[in-house]
Amino acid sequence: MNLYKYLLLFLPIISSLVAAEFPKLSAEWDFSKPEALTAGTFPLKLRQGAEIKDGVLISQTADPKIPGGAVTLKIQPELDFPGAFSLEAVFRVDKAADTREDMLILFDNKYSLGPNEYSGGFNLALRPLGNCEFQPFASFGFGKISCEATGKAVYLEPGKDHTLRMFFSGVGNVLFQVDGEEAGSSMVVSGGLAKARHPGCIGDRTGSMFRPFGNGIAKICLYEERTVPFKTNYAPGYRTVFERGEKNAFLHYTLYNNSGADQINLKLILHNVGKSEETIIPDLKKGVCAEGKIPLDTLLLPGTYTVETMLVQKDGREVNAGTLNYTIVPAYGDFLPLGLNGISKPEKAREFGFTHTTDLYRILEAGGIDEKTRNSRIRSMDRLLAAGLYQLSHVSFFRDGGRNNPKYLRRNRQGRPYLHNPLEVSDPGLIREFCSITEQCLEAMGEHPAVDIAIIDSEVRDSMQPAFGGAEEENFRKFAGYEIPPTVVSKYPAPYRSNPAFPWNHVLPEDNKELTYYRWFWKDGDGWNNIHSLTSDIVHKHMPHHHTTYYEPAVRGVPCWGTGGRVDAVSQWTYTNPDPVKINQAQDELQAMADEHDKPIFNMTQIIWRRNQTAPVDRKPDNMPDWTAREPMAPYITIPPDCLREALWCNISHRVQGLLFHGSGCLFPYEPRKKNYRYTNEETKYVFKEMAFSVLKPLGPVIKRIPERLPEVAILESATASLYAPEHMTSGWSNKWTADLHLALQWAHIQPSIIYEDHLLTGKKMENVKVIFLPGCEALSENVLNKLQELQKQGVILIGDEFLLPALMPDYRVTSVQRTSDPVKSKAELQKLGREIADVLKGHYDSPVDASDPDIVLRRRGNDSADYLFIVNDKRTFGDYLGPWKLVMEKGLPVSGTVTVGHPVKAMYDLVRHTPLDFKNTEKGITFPVELAPGDGKMLLLLDQRIASLDLQVPDQTPARKESFTLTCSALDETGSEIRAILPMEVRIADADDIVLPGSGFYAAENGRLVINEILAPNMSPGKVTVTVKDLASGLEIQKTFAVR
C-alpha cells in the first residue's frame, strides 16, 4: 500500500492538520537548547543513567536495573489526550543499538510495554531487528485493556538524525511515519486513552526493568490532533484480502461514533468500485461501534480497491467517515510450492521466488485460541496473502499442546518418565483432550485461504520409547494376546549379537514375540500415527479449501509403512553435504514410505550446513575465507551455491509436490531471528532465485505430474535389520552405508529405488524389479527371506554385502564402503564400487540410460510414450568457501560428455531452454553430447513423436465481462494427433489495454492438451483479448484473439 492510500485512510486526521487549531503543540522537550530540562513545556529531571551531551539525551546503556532517561517531575494530566494526538521524536541511533535491548524506549507514561489490564497512557519505542533495521512499536492503555501497534521495519542510518511520528486517531487507528515516509499502521480499539498513572519518561521506561534508548534523543513533541466525529474501520477478526473468485466474500467494517452525542437514523453511504450502497443505522450511541458488511465482487482483477464511506446525519450534514481498502489476489494457481522457514519479510521472500512461509501462524495453542490471538493471526495472514505468499502452518500437539503434561508422560517399566518427556499419545484422556483443543483452535481460526499447507507435528517420534503401565501396554495386549516381552526396554531391541538365543542364521520366525512387538510399536503402537490421522481429519474438517497436511520427518525411524497415518503427504529434510546427490536418496526413501497409499511427497532441503561437519571452528587451515572473519563462531552456515543448485535439480527429478527449505537466516542477511543461522554466502540466494524463475516456476506444474517409473533396481531397507542391526541404516539421515550405496548406483547410472519389507510382502511396485540390493541386511524375518528367495528363483538378482545374513546366498556380494572424512576418497571409492556393480550386472541388467562420466548423474521419469530425463552435474572440487577444510567439495566444475539412451527416440526437447535438441541414432537408441555448467542440470523430454504444431481454440462468440470462457490448446504431432506427454505451457491472456488477465501463467498440458476455464473480470477493458500460448518443450508459440463485450 503506498503512502497516498495511507493518507486516504487517515484523511480525517490529515485534513485536521490543515485546520486552524490543530495540531496543537501540547508539550515540547528540545535537548539541543540550553537548560533543556527546565526549558521544555514540562520540566524534567535526569535519572541516574542519563546525561545530555552534544544536544541529545543519552540514556544509560550498561545496566537494565538502573533507570535512564529524563522524567517529568510528576504525573502530568495535561498529557492525557481525550482523543487524537501525535508524538514526534527526533533522534539518532548508534551502531550498537541493534543488539542493546529488545526495545528502545522513546517515550513512556504507561509503564507496561505489553498488554495488561488497568493501564493508561502510552509508550513509543523502536524494536531493533538487526542490521540497522527497526520496527516502530507503541502500546496504549484504554483502562481495562491495552493494545499494541507496530509499524514496518525501516532502515535507520546510524549517526544521522531521524524523525519518527506516531499518530493516534482516537477512533481505532495508529499510523507511523519515519522521515516523512509511511512506516506502517495498526488498528487498536476505538476511543481515547485512559489517564496515565505515571510521570512521562523520555528515553526509557518510566519504571520497573529499564529499556534505555541509548544515544540519543534530540527532541520530543506531543500534539493534540483533531478528533473526527465518525470513523469506519475494519471489523476485527475479519479478512480484508480475498482470492479471486471466492464466494460469499464480505468486507466487515465498524462505524465508531466519536461525535460525543447519541445518533439516530444515520445514513451510511459506501462507494465501492463504481457502486454505491446505502445503509440506515437507526441508533448509534456515543462511543459505540456499529458493525456492517459490504458484499464484494471477487471477480475483479487482482488489486487493491478502496471503499469510501460517507455519513449523512439526521440534520442532513454530510461527514466523511474514512476509507476502507480490500485486496483481491489471484486465485490459487497450479504451481510448485516453494516454502521457506523463518521468513520475516514476505515481500522479500516472494521476490526471490518463494511461495510459502511458516512462522507466522500457529494453529494449536495449549489453552485454545482467544479472540485477540485470532484477530492478530488473521491480520498476519491477510498481509501474507496480499504479499503473494501462502502459509505452511505447524499443527503440533507436541510443540503447542500437551507437552510436559505429567498426566500423559510416557513411563518406563519402572514407572518413571523418560528423558525429554515424550507423551503417551494412546491415552484415551489425552486423545479426547487433544481432539477437543484441536477442534476449538481450528474452529476459532476459521478458514483463511493463505493457510495452505499444515505440517502435522515434527520429530515427535524421535523421543519415543515403549510406554508401560498405561493404554499403550494394554493396546499391545489386545493386539498380540500376550504381554510386552520382558526384553523390551527401549524403542530398539538389543543388538542381535548380544543375544545368544538369536537364531544363528539371523532369520526370525514371524511369530517371534519381540519382533511382533517392535513391528507393532513402529507401525501403530506408539500412537502417533493415530494422532496425526486425527489432526489431519480435523484440519480438513475446518479448513476445506486447498489444504494439504503432511508429516515430517517421515522416514526418521524404522523403515515400515504407516508413518503419518492419514495425513495427505509425507516429507523429510536433508542436509546436502558432502554430496548433494544425497537428495535423490532421501527422496527415494520418502517415496518408499509414501508408496503404501501412493501419497504425494514433499522434500525439505537444509539451507543451513553444520559448521562442525564442513568447516569446524576449531580447525584453522591456511587460506581461511573472509566469511570466517565476519562469522568466526557461526554454528550453522549457508549452503554453497553450487550445492544448492545441484540439490534443486536432484529434487525436481522426483515427483515432488512441493519443495521446502529451512534456514532463512543463512539465506538472507536481514533474517536476524535465528541467531545460530548465519549468513555466510551471498551468492546462494541468487542461485535460488535464478532456479526459481527459470526452472521451478515455469516447469512446476509438470514437475508435480510426471509419473515415477516402476523400480527396476531396488535397495531394500529392511525393518528387521534396522531393528536388530541399525548401524548400517540411515534412519532418515541419508548417511551410512545404506545411503552411500544409493550414491554409488547413481554415479554408475543405475537408477536406484528404495523398497521396504512391505513392498516385498505386498508385491507393490515390484513388477519390474530386476535387481535388489540388500545392504546391512544382517537379520530378516522368515517371510521376507522366503520372498527374496522366491524372487531370486524367478531371476531377480540379489546383491548383498559382507553384513548379509548367512541364510541368503547373494548373486553377488559387494564390500561396503565406509566413509571417511576425506570426501574425495569416499567419492572415488563409491564411484569405483558403482563401476564394479555395473560391470557385474552387464548382460543381466543394463540400465536404459548411461553417460560417459560418473559425475553426470541421470534420473528418468515418465511413461511408455514420454521419457523425462534429468541430467545433473555432480563434478565438484574444493573451492575457496569451504575448501580449505577439505571436508566437502563445494565448488562445482563444468562437465561435458555423452549420454546414451537404450531405446529409439523420435524427438528430444530441452524443457528449460524450450528448444528441440539434436541426437545421433544408434543400434538400440540414441546418443547425444551434454555440457553442463557447475551444479547445473537439464530436464529433457524424449518422445516417440515430434511436436509439429500447436492448435488453439478461443471463444468464437463474444463473451461479456463476468461471463466464463474456455481456451483449449493442443500440441500436435505430424499426423495431427495430440502428443502423448505432459507438456509445460505458458499462457498469456491480455485485454485491449494489454493488462494481463487471470488465467495467464504456467500450466501442464496432460496428453498434449490444455483446457483453461476462466471468468472475465467485470473491470477489465472490453474489446480484443489476445491469447498467446507457448509450448515450453518445442518453443512453438501460437496466438489468437477474441472479443469481449
Partner 1 sequence: MRTTGLLFVLFLMTAGIYADEHEDVIARRQAFRRDVEAHPEKTTQYLASPDAEVRRYALYLTVQTQGAGAKEVCKACMKDPDEQVRLTALEALLYHCRKDPDVRKLFAETASTDTSRKIAKLASDASWPFHREAVLIRNNPFWDHEVKTLRKDPIPDTEWIFKTDPSAIGHLPNQTWYREKIDEKGWRPIRQGYWERQGYNYDGVAWYRIRFTMPQKMECNAVELAFGAVDESAWVWLNGVYLGSHDIGPDGWNTAFALDCTKEVRWGEENVLVVRVLDTEQAGGIWKPVHVEILK
Q: Which is nearer to partner 1, 130 or 635 (CB)?
A: 635
Kindly state whether residue 505 participates in binding partner 1, applying the rule CB under 8 A. yes
The SS3 assignment for 524 reads helix
Choosing from 238, 492, 679, 747, the residue that interacts with partner 1 (CB under 8 A) is: 492
Kindly state whether residue 802 participates in binding partner 1, applying the rule CB under 8 A. yes
Q: Which is nearer to partner 1, 100 or 728 (CB)?
A: 728
Choosing from 17, 480, 494, 992, the residue that interacts with partner 1 (CB under 8 A) is: 494
Nearest to 222 by CA among 408, 76, 355: 76
Kindly state whether residue 1020 participates in binding partner 1, applying the rule CB under 8 A. no
Kindly state whether residue 809 participates in binding partner 1, applying the rule CB under 8 A. yes
> Are 135 and 124 contacting, i.e. CB atoms less than 8 angstroms apart?
no
Map grid coordinates 496480499 to a residue. Answer: 386
The SS3 assignment for 360 reads coil
Give least dist CB 487 to partner 1, A.
11
φ/ψ (deg, to 5) at 719: -65, -40
Q: Which is nearer to partner 1, 682 or 727 (CB)?
A: 727
Q: Which is nearer to partner 1, 85 or 803 (CB)?
A: 803
Q: What whole-number distance in Å separates Cα of residue 574 and Cα of residue 607?
A: 10
- Classify strands 569-570 and 548-552 as parallel, antiparallel or unpaired: parallel
Type of residue at 939: M
Give least dist CB 419 to partner 1, A.
7
Type of residue at 98: D
Give least dist CB 845 to partner 1, A.
10
Applying CB under 8 A, the span of 290-298, 327-335, 376-384, 496-504 interacting with partner 1 comes to 496-504
Would you say the C-alpha torsion 647, 648, 652, 656 has a positive or negative sign?
positive
CA 880 to chain centre: 31
Q: Which is nearer to partner 1, 725 or 856 (CB)?
A: 725
Kindly state whether residue 933 participates in binding partner 1, applying the rule CB under 8 A. no
Cβ neighbours of residue 680 closer than 8 Å, sequence gap 6 or more: 627, 630, 631, 634, 637, 638, 666, 881
Kindly state whether residue 524 participates in binding partner 1, applying the rule CB under 8 A. no
Nearest to 332 by CA among 452, 447, 250: 452
Applying CB under 8 A, the span of 298-306, 344-352, 810-818, 875-883 interacting with partner 1 comes to 810-818
Q: Which is nearer to partner 1, 155 or 504 (CB)?
A: 504
Q: What whole-number distance in Å separates Cα of residue 343 and Cα of residue 346?
A: 6
Map the footprint of partner 1 across residues 380-439, applying CB under 8 A. Answer: 414, 416, 419
Map grid coordinates 527532541 to a residue. Answer: 219
Kindly state whether residue 486 participates in binding partner 1, applying the rule CB under 8 A. no
* Residue 329: count of CB within 10 angstroms of its CB: 22
Pattern of binders to partner 1 over 763-792, x per CB under 8 A? Answer: -----------------------------x
Choosing from 495, 600, 635, 959, the residue that interacts with partner 1 (CB under 8 A) is: 495
> Are 193 and 142 contacting, i.e. CB atoms less than 8 angstroms apart?
yes
Kindly state whether residue 497 participates in binding partner 1, applying the rule CB under 8 A. yes
C-alpha cell at 40: 521544555
Give least dist CB 296 to partner 1, A.
56
C-alpha cell at 132: 540497522
250-257: strand order across its sheet: 230-234, 250-257, 289-295
Q: Which is nearer to partner 1, 211 or 461 (CB)?
A: 461
Q: Which is nearer to partner 1, 57 or 808 (CB)?
A: 808
Q: Which is nearer to partner 1, 241 or 797 (CB)?
A: 797
617-623 long-range contacts, Cβ below 8 Å, gap at least 24? 619/885, 621/884, 621/885, 621/886, 622/884, 623/880, 623/884
Q: Which is nearer to partner 1, 503 or 600 (CB)?
A: 503
* Residue 195: count of CB within 10 angstroms of its CB: 14
Choosing from 145, 431, 807, 1015, the residue that interacts with partner 1 (CB under 8 A) is: 807
Q: Which is nearer to partner 1, 314 or 844 (CB)?
A: 844
Q: Which is nearer to partner 1, 240 or 730 (CB)?
A: 730
Map grid coordinates 572440487 to a residue. Answer: 877
Q: What whole-number distance in Å separates Cα of residue 179 and Cα of residue 3?
A: 13
The SS3 assignment for 179 reads coil
Q: What whole-number distance in Å separates Cα of residue 289 and Cα of residue 237?
A: 15
Applying CB under 8 A, the span of 83-91, 445-453, 707-715, 806-814 interacting with partner 1 comes to 806-814
Q: Which is nearer to partner 1, 758 or 778 (CB)?
A: 778
Q: What whole-number distance in Å separates Cα of residue 906 and Cα of residue 954?
A: 31
Kindly state whether residue 500 participates in binding partner 1, applying the rule CB under 8 A. yes
Q: What is the DSSP string of 775-803?
A: TT---EEHHHHHHHHHHHHTT-EEEE-TT
Number of residues that bind partner 1 (CB under 8 A): 32
Kindly state whether residue 689 participates in binding partner 1, applying the rule CB under 8 A. no
Kindly state whether residue 487 participates in binding partner 1, applying the rule CB under 8 A. no
Give least dist CB 498 to partner 1, A.
6
3-state secondary structure 397-415: HHHHCCCCCHHHECECCCC
Applying CB under 8 A, the span of 163-171, 226-234, 368-376, 808-816 interacting with partner 1 comes to 808-816
Q: Which is nearer to partner 1, 127 or 813 (CB)?
A: 813
Choosing from 812, 878, 928, 1042, the residue that interacts with partner 1 (CB under 8 A) is: 812
Give least dist CB 809 to partner 1, A.
4
Local structure of residue 996 (DSSP, 8 states): B
Kindly state whether residue 726 participates in binding partner 1, applying the rule CB under 8 A. yes
In the complex, which residues of this chain contact partner 1 (CB under 8 A)? 414, 416, 419, 489-492, 494-495, 497-498, 500, 503-505, 726-727, 792-793, 797, 802, 806-807, 809-813, 840-841, 843-844
